[in-house]
Amino acid sequence: MSRVIFIESGGVKLDALGGHQYRNTSETSHSFDDVDLGASSSSGLLVIGAGIIGSPTSEVNSLTVNGSSATQVASAAGGGRSAKLFQITGQSGTGDIAVECAAGATQWFLGLWKLRGVQSTTAAETGTKVGSLTESPLTVAFDVPKLGAGIAFMIGDVTGGGTTWSGLTEDFEITDAINGRGTGASLKFNTAQTALSVSATTTITGRGMLVGASWR
């Protein structure tokens, strides 16, 4: 009698690549140059969180990596605050990331992660939270497949203190000298997570925006 043995792979490989920030008077676009895009991989998926703080109608419109358009995955926007997740394949090494927005922004935030060994470049599920004035914590919930990974990105009006994440592990936190913060978190899971609750708790002086998604 013969036997067939199925060996399950180790799942998604997750690399957190850090965060970046830029502050100016008001612009409708900004390019982050010489950004770490992660290791080269035939199955590599670059996930980018982009956020802005600007005029009341400001919102991130698009994002390109080395001139190639990234696909929007999740969006939370309101009151001139905007946080979005994008993804793109075929990018590695270092490169330039250009973000465009409507109506102009004074603060720009970026967070990056590299996923390798994904079975699908379509996000398994997403979660978004448009925060009301001074609302904290900001919380989203989404499923994470077995051997998959979850990623979340938050921006907001914040002065002092830090951010406490639950559900995922913080990867970076950048606080502007005036009043803005960008922070991100991620985690790989060996077992499936149903309606995983992900929260970012901090002192919000204005409004915060939180986006999250999972891949396998």
Beginning with the edge strand found earlier in the chain, give each strand of the sheet holding 138-144 in spatial order.
Answer: 138-144, 193-201, 164-166
The 10s digit of each residue's pLDDT in 48-87 is: 999 999 999 999 999 999 999 999 999 999 999 999 999 9
Is 8 part of a structural domain of the chain? no
Is 6 part of a structural domain of the chain? no
Residue 65 to residue 91: CA distance in whole angstroms: 8
Is 114 part of a structural domain of the chain? yes
Is 4 part of a structural domain of the chain? no
Average pLDDT over residues 184-201: 98
Task: Please tell me the predicted confidence (pLDDT) of residue 82.
Answer: 97
Q: Given a cut of 70, is residue 3 above it in pLDDT?
A: no
Range of the domain at 199: 13-215
Is 95 part of a structural domain of the chain? yes
Specify the pTM.
0.94
| Domains identified in the chain, total number | 1
Q: What percent of the chain has pLDDT over 90?
A: 87
